[in-house]
Amino acid sequence: MDRTRPIDPQTLTWLELGEAQRLLIDQFPRLVFGLDLAGHIQWMNRAGAETLGFEPGELRGQPLIGSLLRREEVEARAAMLGTELRTRVPADARVFSARLQRGLPDEHDWLLRSKGGEPRQTRLSLGTLRDAHGVVTGLIAVERAAETAIDAPIAMAHHDSLTGLPNRAVLQDRAEMAIQRAARAGTQIGVLLIEFDGFAALCEQHGPSFGDDLLRAAAGRLHFELRKTDTAVRLDDGQFAAMLVDLHHAGEAEMVARKIAAALAGPVNTGIEVLHPKCRVGVAVYPQHGDQLLRLLEAAETALAQARTEPGAIVRTADSAGSAAA
């Protein structure tokens, strides 16, 4: 097994840790450990235990805060997150999930204490662990080495650097699991394709920095409108996609699409003027419009193309002639 193969926490975000994943983690040459949602250490790989001077399994069940991390470190991180996220973040285990809950990556330098009490500066990247049903069961922390030409693409492999949203590869992984779950439960899935009206022209008129501001604002508004179980991703050319899970009827997807369209049409301050962008949303629903992500995206793209030709259309559902809205 290749001991130098990088591990990205986000690749484990929607997977249970099976035998193959645990073997890979145990062979990883840097620190990797798992936490439950209360912040207790559940396991640690051999390299991590050796680096910090512990026996394998010695820290199992111990709180991370107080064993490896000083409370002062956690309080400082909580204050930093509170300023960044503009909300109070308690100085407890919630500091490890505050960014992840908002769909943002979390990478931070921590001073970990070895068994002998010596501080060791360690850059940890955090990700969520979920079971086969998509339920969050804990967190995984991976030590990052100094970034190299090899590490840089890995770090960006699953998230968009501008908005912090997951990318299409993550959507594909999550869609496969969501479709399997929906087939078992008899539920439906909504796939939304979202675009700003005249995005390229707006960037030409106001400059590329305006486009970046608009996309970042859209990402934040999407995150606010969606549930934690849903997924929003950034695609190419200023487009976004969203996947809505556990729906009971197709009308729910269209209702959420209208809420998103209204939210994204809110004013955007460019620093020079306030603009009111317009967006359109194409909607497709599993299983009516396809049983794979690609087919659902194609159906949503067809609906979006139809909305472009219909005066005043904002939301259109695939194969539903009466769903255009002014």
Q: Which residues of 247-258 are buried (b: 16+ CB within 10 A; e: fewer)?
A: beebeebbbbbb
User: What's the whole-model pTM score?
Assistant: 0.53
Give the position of tokens 């707006």. Answer: 202
Provide the token pair at 207: 């400059």
Provide the token pair at 66: 């107080």
Residue type (1 letter), 279 = C
Helix (H, G, I), strand (E, B), or coil: what is residue 17? coil
Q: What DSSP string runs through 268-281?
A: EE-SS-EE---EEE
The Cα 282–Cα 124 span in angstroms is: 39
Per-residue pLDDT of the chain (326 residues; tens, 9 = 90+): 333 334 444 443 434 556 556 766 777 889 999 999 999 999 999 999 999 999 989 999 999 999 999 998 899 899 999 888 888 999 999 999 998 888 778 888 899 999 988 888 899 999 888 776 667 888 999 998 754 444 444 444 566 777 778 888 788 888 888 899 999 999 999 999 999 888 888 778 877 677 787 888 888 888 788 887 899 998 877 789 999 999 999 899 999 999 999 988 888 765 566 778 889 999 999 999 999 999 999 999 999 999 888 877 889 998 853 334 43
Helix (H, G, I), strand (E, B), or coil: what is residue 267? coil
- For residue 276, the tally of other CB atoms under 10 A from its CB is 8
β-strands 32-35, 41-44 pairing = antiparallel
